[in-house]
Amino acid sequence: MVSPDGGVTMRVEADRGKCMGAGMCALNAPEVFDQDEDEGLVVVLESEPAAGHRFAVRDAANLCPASAITLIEEDAG
C-alpha cells in the first residue's frame, strides 16, 4: 500500500531570531503555525505536518518575508 504522502516526510523549523511577526505563516497554514501572544513571533504547532497540510506549509515558507521558515523534506523510502 502506498501512503498518501508517498513516503516523503516533511519537517518544519522556524527561526524566531529572524521572524519579524508578519503573521503570513499563521494566516496561510494555521494548523501548523501560530504566533506567541507576547511578541507575535512564530510558534510551530506541528513540526512534522500531515500530508494534507504540506501545500499550505510550502506556501507559508515561500511567503515569509523574513525567510525564517525552513522545510526539510526527505524521501523516507
Q: Could you list the residues that contact ligand SF4 (CB under 6 A)?
A: 14, 19-25, 35, 42, 64-66, 68-69
Closest distance to ligand SF4 from the beta carbon of 63 (Å): 7
Considering the complex, state which of residue 22 and residue 45 has its C-beta at the smaller distance from ligand SF4. 22
Closest distance to ligand SF4 from the beta carbon of 32 (Å): 10
16: its cell numbers: 524566531
Considering the complex, state which of residue 5 and residue 21 has its C-beta at the smaller distance from ligand SF4. 21
Q: Cα–Cα distance between 42 and 77 in angstroms, integer?
A: 31
CA 7 to chain CA mean position, Å: 18
Which of 1, 17, 15 minimizes the C-alpha distance to 61? 15
Closest distance to ligand SF4 from the beta carbon of 56 (Å): 12
| Contact between residue 62 and residue 69 where contact means Cβ atoms under 8 Å apart | no
